[in-house]
Amino acid sequence: MATNKNSNGFRRNDGNNADANGKDLKVVGKPFRKVDARAKCTGQTKFADDIVLPRMLYAKLLRSHEPHAIIKSIDTSKAEALPGVLAVITGKDLPIPYGILPVSQDEHPLCVDRVRFIGDPVAAVAAIDEDTAFEAMNLIEVEYEKLQTITSIEEAVLIDEPRIHDYGEGGNVHKSVHLEFGDLDEGFAQADLVREDVFFYEGNTHLPMEQHAAVAHYDSDDKLTLWTSTQTPHYVHRALAKTLGMRAAHIRVIATPNGGGFGGKSDPFNHEIVVCELSRRTRRPVKVTLTREEVFYCHRGRHPVLMKIKTGVKKDGAITAMDFESFLDGGAYGSYGVASTFYTGALQTVTYDVPRYRFKGLRAFTNKPPCGPKRGHGTPQPRFGLEVQLDKLAEELKLDPAEMRLKHLAPPNSVTANYLRIGSMGLGKCIEKVVKGSDWKNKHRKLPFGKGVGLACSSYICGAGLPIYWNNMPHSGVQLALDRQGGVRIQCGSIDIGQGSDSILAYIVAEVLGIDPFDIRVLTADTDLTPVDLGSYSSRVTLMTGNAALQAAERARELLSIAVAEKLCTPVENLSFADRRVFDVENPETGVTFAEAVVLAESKFGTIGTVGSYTPPRSPGKFKGAGVGPSPAYSYSAAIAEVDVDAETGFVTVERVWIGHDIGRSINPMLVMGQVEGGVYMGLGEALMEEMIYRANRNAVHKFPSMLEYKSPTTLEMCDVLTYLVEDADPNGPFGAKEVGQGPLLPVMPAVANAVYDAVGVRVDEVPITPEKVLAALRAKARGKEARFGPTGVPAVEWPDALKVLTPAEGGDGKEMPRVAVHS
Amino acid sequence: MRLPKFSYLVPQTVREAVKMMGDAGPAGQFVAGGTDLYPNMKRRQQTPETVISVGRLKELREIAGDGATGLRIGAGVSLTDIVEHPVIRRDYPAVAQAARTISTPILRNMGTIGGNLLLDTRCNYYDQNYEWRKGINFCLKKDGDVCWVAPGSEKCWAVQSSDLVPLMVATGAQVRLVSTVNERMVTAKGLYNDDGIQYLHKRPEELLTEIHLPPVNGWRAVYKKLRRRGAFDFPVLGVAAAINVGADGAVREARVILGGIAPAPLEVKEAAAALVGAPLDDERIAQAAEACYMKARPLDNTDHLMNYRKRMARPFVLRALEELRRSL
């Protein structure tokens, strides 16, 4: 059995484990277990579906089997008459639209007059048990009037009528953007070599082990509680208040531990609103647990993206200009799609120096489950294209792809052409680690036919610089309560989706207060009890909640220090917090226990509670569209994949991945490595097999909404992984920490594609890289055609006029240049 | 998804089991491990009202004999026991090898050899839940009247998807079928019918009780399987090849069976003919592989593109026969 040989894979960049002031760290940087590990491992964790309340009802949603149709009529009478059915609702019962982004309020809890994809819900029932609900659901009669179905990007840009939505850019184009930073013509004129390539990245889905589930209880005080498997309880809270027409203060959302999220539980969902309404009507608790098939319909996964990239380089590989076009197949609703569109054009500039840059992006509506954010949100697709194109450029320039990248890294502490502020930048070290670890120099272009290595790099944000709805409040808040018996409680709105965010809070507070992380009770993701954190998305949690926790803990320490210093008659600055004690560093036996310190502080100041919060720094970009991409810090990754390609069957086996990740600092290196490996694993699935595909000639029905036929690797398909953590503390991260939840996925797909080329000399310019595509490319090569499989072009569309911004190097101020009307 | 309501009967003997089935009539269904039936019932692909459990019948869990005498395997023997049984591993290694490629260890612990031989045919228009199938207005195999794989077809094209079936045909196995009125032995080859709905020449009331593997007598066999994930996928092309080589090194008899591409296992006689009469050499192996390629006509109803599955017949047969040659 293939296993991850990581026992000795962990390589620290330096042996040093001290904070910025040189103080030894006791908790941060140590491989503590997660605070919720034992409950998870022993089955004690209560997920949403484990919740059972007295008199609870079960809900089912009737979903459309038409991909695009007008609802002519819905007859619920038979369902209502079925014994055991307590409520049946349809779209007219919940008419207020919602959506995660303020600019895309295009969803209804139940479709009102039109269905837009197979799986769109049209009615819901609550019954005494699931069997009755299921039976009742099938008694509901819906009459549809079919509309033409839009199944692809190409169709969407060609077919203006019928429109799937009556908002957007016109026709079935949801969003189109055009940004230009610097003089592209000048850039391409300076280039020694210009390449234009077209790539396609197929859509795929999150596939969390836990299906979405929710339990609502509308109680006798007209207060509503919703337990739900969500990554964004705060946004769900807002959506419930809006769609139910209730005061937010009367609604409590408790996010239950997520059995995997990966971005798939980041939207407010129709089933969450529906169970609330069913509970309001029946005054009984109502539960819904989606089937696996329904999870495929919720989707919000990776957008299929068609890309055209034109890049100019000097002989030494220095990029002179890049022109990037992306076309996103958005599916039936907006979801995060506007942000996804911008993300396909945002982070190209933060890895290598790109002095001039243009981005054109278009998102189309189609009659398929809506796409949204999946691990890497909008950035794996462009990263795939960019990194494969760089591999082609390096070959044409006769340069080593690793050397070429190393030579032209974006500098640390700089602002990119599109106004992203880079802080710490450890990509060079990541590349050096994997090049050395993999013996790249002796393998690349040197292995026998069928064996190959490929390199790719990437970067990801550590939290979105802006919230989803416009406001000036913190992105994350922490409340800390200290008990006179020595207990510490952390309250934070963040939700642990398995990444370890609850543990991070405990580690950071334990470090500051000198106690054991397991002395701390972490209370999270309950809108009644915890201050707002925006949610587990955009790799924001460690950095933002970490900074908020750090501030709250430092404030608590200050109170304790004053009280203890007074008692011990020592200067405050002499006090140290460690081993559950507060003591004089010059005289370590003089001190008090942590609990005594709390007693002293409580005696002096009253009940001890502190708060901390975090707001990201402002971005230097001021132009329209500058909101997507800025982040307090960027993580970096470099990966080398070694593959075996069976030229007779086309099967690609990834044998090993070496991956270097610039984490800034590991709060817990074991959890960091777990995330790196998880990213590699998910990346392998995207690289080799996963695809959300639909039968265009059969009603755009999802081809195989099941865990058996939607092919995703198992542990047996997993390769060996060697992980190198590069720790170059970032000034904006708590203890210097940056993200790891999403970034390490990004280099995997292009590294595999580049390795396949190294192995058998053919380019597969799309993912997944299936055996069929490898064989097709090999056959093309054998016939003397281009040794490639991939898309050949992009649709011709009319782009809006470019919004032009002078780059920082050109003396720009981050604002858009005034549009000059040209008259001829 | 939840199971529909049904009666569950637990007979103590084979005789009682077939009696219960006689009483239940067409709404009855035998179950052993349940790894195929129960998921299908949850999706309403199969809708028996009476389920008769034969998985724990002692009579069906015995293995007797060896390669010299032939082997009798009870239909209720778990696939894990097939994989691990010392006599099977020694005398019929290809059977253990093929069984080992079935699904996952956990499912092999539950699944039985009998159940595997009777596995429902598969199709990705059919192996879907009720709502999905309703969305395409169902299909010929269940609740509908069109075969979406070949809309003009009167026949169902669901695919024979057991790994053991092609191998049983290649090794010349027989099975015993028992009902209240009679008992009969049927060759594995004769058990299967090239129709995705009526895929067995077995009456519903007949219970498959045991499998007879013939004495080895110089036969050696091998099984190769195409699937996307080695961890647990069904075959979308299976190649079972068996040869009997004489003292002079010449192939005396050969059978090459393709599974996973049609409603029934497909015997490629042209491939066997290419092999018989001379030692296995590259040219004959290539001829056999070519014959299989010509005969393989999969349709678009499983994982992998159908043209790819057809194309793979060549290298998979080639590799199967090369492995047999190496074993000589």
Specify whether A325 is located in the same domain as A428.
yes
pLDDT at B56: 86
Nearest neighbour of B232 by CB, restricted to A701, A714, A772: A714
pLDDT at A218: 98
Residue A600, domain extent: 474-614
Rounded to a whole number, what is the distance in Å from the CA of A179 to chain B's nearest CA?
A: 40
Which residues in chain A have Cβ-Cβ distances shorter than 8 Å to B124?
Answer: 703-704, 709
- For chain B, domains (ranges, CATH) are 58-118+159-213 (3.30.465.10), 219-327 (3.30.390.50)
Rounded to a whole number, what is the distance in Å from the CA of A206 to chain B's nearest CA?
A: 18
At which of A614, A629, A655 does a domain end?
Answer: A614
At which of A580, A614, A648 does a domain end?
Answer: A614
Rounded to a whole number, what is the distance in Å from the CA of A204 to chain B's nearest CA?
A: 16
pLDDT at B131: 87
Q: Cβ neighbours of residue A264 under 8 Å, at least 6 residues apart?
A: A205, A206, A208, A295, A298, A299, A300, A301, A372, A374
In tens, the pLDDT along A782-793 reads 999 999 999 999
Q: Considering the domain boundaries, does residue A804 fall inside one?
A: no
In tens, the pLDDT along B41-90 reads 999 999 999 999 998 899 999 999 999 999 999 999 999 999 999 999 99
Q: Is B228's CB within 8 Å of A134's CB?
A: no
pLDDT over 50 (residue B135): yes
Identify the CATH number of the domain in which residue A259 sits: 3.90.1170.50
pLDDT at A821: 54
pLDDT at A13: 41
Identify the CATH number of the domain in which residue A683 sits: 3.30.365.10
Nearest neighbour of A63 by CB, restricted to B131, B148, B312: B131
Which residues in chain A have Cβ-Cβ distances shorter than 8 Å to B315?
Answer: 648-649
Give the span between the Cα atoms of A28 and A668, in whole angstroms: 6
**Total residue length of chain B:** 328
Which residues in chain A have Cβ-Cβ distances shorter than 8 Å to B1?
Answer: 291
Q: Is B2's CB within 8 Å of A134's CB?
A: yes
Rounded to a whole number, what is the distance in Å from the CA of B315 to chain A's nearest CA?
A: 7
Q: Considering the domain boundaries, does residue A157 fall inside one?
A: no
List the one residue out of A500, A540, A547, A559 whose CA is nearest residue A524: A500
Q: Considering the domain boundaries, does residue A335 fall inside one?
A: yes
Strands (E) located in chain B: 7-9, 28-31, 50-53, 63-66, 70-74, 174-178, 183-187, 207-213, 219-226, 237-245, 251-259, 266-267
Specify whether A443 is located in the same domain as A591.
no
Which residues in chain B have Cβ-Cβ distances shorter than 8 Å to A65?
Answer: 131, 134-135
Burial A32-54 (b: 16+ CB within 10 A, else e): bebbbeeeeeeeeeebbbebeee
CA A132, distance to chain mean position in Å, is: 37
Interface of A with B (CB under 8 A): 63, 65, 118, 130-131, 134, 138, 291, 293, 648-650, 689, 698-699, 701-706, 708-709, 711, 713-717, 771-772, 775
Specify whether A484 is located in the same domain as A557.
yes
Q: Considering the domain boundaries, does residue A356 fall inside one?
A: yes
pLDDT at A2: 36
Which residue on chain A is closest to B3 by alpha carbon?
A131
State both tokens at A533: 């954190």
Give the span between the Cα atoms of A263 and A205, in whole angstroms: 9
Specify whether A607 is located in the same domain as A712.
no
DSSP B39-80: HHHHTTSS--SEEEE-TT-GGGS-EEEETTTEEEEETT-BHH
Beta pairing class for A305-313 and A319-329: antiparallel
State both tokens at A231: 């990554």
State both tokens at B174: 């027989």
Q: Is B303's CB within 8 Å of A711's CB?
A: yes
Rounded to a whole number, what is the distance in Å from the CA of B231 to chain A's nearest CA?
A: 6
- CB–CB of A90/A278 below 8 Å? no
Nearest neighbour of B124 by CB, restricted to A134, A648, A709: A709
Which residues in chain A have Cβ-Cβ distances shorter than 8 Å to B2?
Answer: 130-131, 134
Specify whether A604 is located in the same domain as A661.
no
pLDDT at A820: 63
In tens, the pLDDT along A371-418 reads 999 999 999 999 999 999 999 999 999 999 999 999 999 999 999 999
List the one residue out of A597, A567, A565 whose CA is nearest residue A580: A597
**Total residue length of chain A:** 824
pLDDT at A226: 98
Specify whether A308 is located in the same domain as A294.
no
Specify whether A690 is located in the same domain as A711.
yes
Q: Block means of pLDDT (10 residues each) for chain A, length 824 residues?
A: 37 55 88 96 96 98 96 98 98 98 98 97 98 96 97 96 97 98 97 98 97 98 98 98 98 97 98 98 98 97 98 98 98 98 98 98 98 98 98 98 98 98 98 98 98 98 95 97 96 97 98 97 98 97 98 98 97 96 95 98 98 96 94 98 98 98 98 98 98 87 94 95 96 98 98 98 98 98 98 96 96 88 50
Which residues in chain B have Cβ-Cβ distances shorter than 8 Å to A649?
Answer: 226, 312, 315
Specify whether A599 is located in the same domain as A725.
no
Q: Considering the domain boundaries, does residue A762 fall inside one?
A: yes
List the one residue out of A720, A628, A638, A748 whose CA is nearest residue A377: A628
At which of A562, A587, A614 does a domain end?
Answer: A614
SS3 label, residue A629: coil
Q: Count structural domains, chain A.
A: 3
Strands (E) located in A506-651: 520-524, 575-578, 581-584, 587-593, 608-614, 634-645
pLDDT over 90 (residue B231): no
Sole residue written with tokens 């190209």: A348
Report the pLDDT averaged over residues B294-321.
97
Specify whether A657 is located in the same domain as A764.
yes
Which residue on chain B is closest to A693 by alpha carbon?
B303
* Complex ipTM: 0.96
Q: Considering the domain boundaries, does residue A153 fall inside one?
A: no
Rounded to a whole number, what is the distance in Å from the CA of B275 to chain A's nearest CA?
A: 22
Which residue on chain B is closest to A685 by alpha carbon?
B229
Rounded to a whole number, what is the distance in Å from the CA of A429 to chain B's nearest CA?
A: 35
Interface of B with A (CB under 8 A): 1-2, 5, 124, 127-132, 134-136, 148, 226, 228-233, 303-305, 308, 311-312, 315
Give the span between the Cα atoms of A224 and A285, in whole angstroms: 10
- CB–CB of A288/A130 below 8 Å? no
Which residue on chain A is closest to B302 by alpha carbon?
A709
- Give the predicted TM-score (pTM) of the model: 0.96
Which residue on chain A is closest to B132 by alpha carbon?
A65
Specify whether A507 is located in the same domain as A365.
no
Most distant CA pair in chain A, distance: 88
Beta pairing class for A652-662 and A587-593: unpaired
Q: Considering the domain boundaries, does residue A799 fall inside one?
A: no
pLDDT mean across residues, chain B: 96
In tens, the pLDDT along B243-258 reads 999 999 999 999 999 9
Nearest neighbour of A293 by CB, restricted to B132, B232, B305: B132
Q: Is B229's CB within 8 Å of A709's CB?
A: no
Q: Considering the domain boundaries, does residue A535 fall inside one?
A: yes
Cis peptide upstream of residue A370 (ω within 30 degrees of 0): no
Q: If you count residue pairs, one on A and one on B, with CB atoms under 8 Å apart, how many are there?
A: 65
Distances (CA, A) of A635 to A235, A407, A408, A617, A679: 26, 19, 17, 17, 14
Q: Is B124's CB within 8 Å of A704's CB?
A: yes
Q: Is A705's CB within 8 Å of B131's CB?
A: no
Which residues in chain B have Cβ-Cβ distances shorter than 8 Å to A714?
Answer: 229, 231-232
What are the strands of the beta sheet with B237-245, ordered from one edge?
B219-226, B237-245, B251-259, B266-267
Which residue on chain A is closest to B301 by alpha carbon?
A703
- CB–CB of A578/A588 below 8 Å? no
pLDDT at A9: 37
Specify whether A644 is located in the same domain as A774.
yes
Specify whether A369 is located in the same domain as A459.
yes
Enumerate long-range contacts of A484-488, CB under 8 Å, 24 or more apart: A484/A595, A484/A598, A484/A599, A484/A602, A485/A595, A485/A598, A486/A515, A486/A519, A486/A580, A486/A593, A486/A594, A486/A595, A486/A598, A487/A519, A487/A520, A487/A521, A488/A513, A488/A515, A488/A519, A488/A520, A488/A521
Mutation target for B interface from A49, A61, A138, A649: give the one with most B CBs within 10 A: A649
